[in-house]
């Protein structure tokens, strides 16, 4: 599935393939572009090819087909790889990887040491302010917190003003609360600096907090690239639906222009034929608890999560059907409680074939 940005691309993978072992491709004809100033996230389960895709841009991995361009210049094609140090890209890794014997200011200045001292000092000062580390320039890395070290590593990567900054799961070593706050802060820093960036992560919330668009990979193929809302509400494939957020598939049959699950029906696509087997994808928030409704159900599982409860309800007339429901009401539910369910009026995602849906990490 190809995807092109509407602005002039800074980075392009065009038909890129890569394999470590013949016959076992890691990247399969990857077509993807990143506009100048855009933050793109490569998201997917372990082994999907996201880190390999990043490494091909850095120049750490060759490609076996296609080409990669940076700012209009081809940097990789089969048999030709521009060395990493000549690509003008910045790197931020899982660990901050700062030089322990250098101060934070010296770490940031490391990539611009050839510039005049006054220019170095000005650039370092501006970056320390941008990453909210003013007053910390003289400290050594071990004197900073984990989040501060990652911000310092980002400043070091930004110092030479590279064409693209590549971030390889930069927050994976941090706790969940710090990851959330730091991802928002790093997005602000990158946007304020007008930086083009590619982030690799397996964390959906991190991807959605940081990226302008997210590219979801599976088995080396690009499944869909879009903003967070579109990925969640309009998944292009069954894999995207099953990977992003929560939800479940329910079998249906096309009857008289509708996708009929037995317990409810929604309009079918015009190109689907009578009798076609399809799969309806319902998210827990799409199914609402109503005071009265056409569907009676019994609560068979409860999962209390503070301000919201997730429950599973078995339909009385279709006991083989168990629906996932998100309950934001203030009432206290009990196992075995009888409730009424209201199906969404808007047609949910429906797929002709379910395909492979992989469990999220």
Residue pair 100/110 in contact (Cβ under 8 Å)? The answer is no
Residue 292 confidence (pLDDT): 79
Q: What contacts 28, CB < 8 A, 6 or more positions away?
A: 17, 49, 219, 220, 221
Tell me how far apart the alpha carbons of residues 53 and 42 are, in angstroms, rounded to a whole number.
8
DSSP conformational letter for 110: G
Residue 330 confidence (pLDDT): 64
Q: For 314-319, which contacts have Cβ atoms below 8 Å and span 24 or more sequence positions?
A: 315/263, 315/341, 317/263, 318/262, 318/263
Spatial strand order in the sheet of 338-342: 288-290, 338-342, 295-304, 309-315, 322-327
**Which residue, 338, 335, 295, is CA-closest to 317?**
295
Residue 7 confidence (pLDDT): 60
Residue 328 confidence (pLDDT): 79
Beta bridge partners, 77, equal 80
**Which residue, 94, 52, 91, 88, is CA-closest to 69?**
88
Helix spans in the chain (H): 50-58, 104-109, 117-130, 146-158, 176-192, 204-210, 228-233, 238-243
Tokens of 168: 């390889």
Helix spans in 173-304 (H): 176-192, 204-210, 228-233, 238-243
Residue pair 45/217 in contact (Cβ under 8 Å)? The answer is no
Residue 357 confidence (pLDDT): 45
12: left (phi over 0), alpha (psi -120 to 50) or beta: beta
Q: What is the CA radius of gyration of the chain?
A: 24
pLDDT tens-place values along the chain, 361 residues long: 444 445 679 999 999 999 988 778 999 999 999 999 999 999 999 999 999 999 999 999 999 999 999 999 999 999 999 999 999 999 998 776 889 999 999 999 998 988 999 999 999 999 999 888 999 999 999 999 888 998 899 999 999 999 999 999 988 877 888 888 888 888 998 998 899 999 999 999 999 999 999 999 999 999 999 999 999 999 999 999 999 999 999 999 999 999 999 999 999 999 999 999 999 999 999 999 988 777 999 999 998 887 788 999 999 999 999 999 998 776 678 899 999 999 999 999 999 875 544 444 4
CB count in 10 Å sphere of residue 324:
19
Residue 355 confidence (pLDDT): 52
pTM, rounded to two decimals: 0.88
Residue 97 confidence (pLDDT): 81
């Amino acid at each position: 599935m190809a995807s092109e940005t509407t602005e002039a691309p800074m980075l392009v993978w065009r038909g890129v393939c890569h394999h470590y072992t013949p016959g076992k491709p890691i990247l399969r004809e990857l077509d993807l572009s990143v506009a100048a100033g855009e933050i793109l996230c490569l998201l997917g389960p372990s082994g999907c090819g996201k880190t390999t895709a990043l490494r091909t841009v850095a120049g750490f991995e060759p490609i076996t087909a296609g080409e990669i361009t940076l700012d209009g210049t081809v940097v990789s094609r089969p048999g030709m790889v521009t060395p990493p140090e000549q690509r003008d890209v910045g790197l931020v890794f899982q660990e901050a990887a700062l030089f322990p014997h250098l101060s934070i200011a010296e770490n940031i200045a490391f990539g611009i040491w050839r510039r005049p001292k006054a220019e170095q000092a000005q650039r370092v000062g501006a970056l320390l302010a941008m990453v909210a580390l003013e007053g910390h320039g003289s400290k050594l890395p071990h004197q900073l917190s984990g989040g501060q070290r990652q911000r310092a590593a980002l400043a070091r990567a930004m110092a030479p003003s590279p064409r693209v900054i590549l971030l390889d799961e930069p927050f994976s070593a941090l706790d969940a609360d710090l990851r959330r706050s730091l991802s928002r802060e790093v997005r602000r820093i990158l946007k304020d600096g007008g930086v083009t960036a590619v982030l690799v992560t397996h964390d959906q919330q991190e991807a959605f907090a940081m990226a302008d668009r997210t590219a979801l990979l599976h088995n080396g193929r690009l499944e869909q690239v879009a903003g967070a809302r579109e990925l969640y509400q309009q998944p292009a494939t069954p894999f995207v639906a099953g990977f992003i957020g929560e939800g479940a598939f329910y079998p249906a049959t096309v009857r008289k222009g509708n996708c009929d699950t037995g317990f409810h029906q929604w309009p079918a696509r015009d190109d689907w034929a009578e009798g076609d087997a399809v799969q309806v994808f319902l998210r827990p928030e799409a199914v609402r608890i109503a005071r009265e409704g056409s569907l009676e159900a019994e609560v068979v599982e409860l999962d209390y999560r503070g301000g919201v409860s997730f429950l599973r309800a078995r339909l009385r007339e279709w006991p083989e059907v168990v629906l996932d429901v998100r309950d934001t009401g203030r009432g206290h539910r009990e196992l075995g409680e009888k409730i009424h369910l209201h199906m969404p009026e808007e047609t949910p995602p429906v797929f002709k074939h379910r395909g492979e849906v992989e469990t999220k990490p």
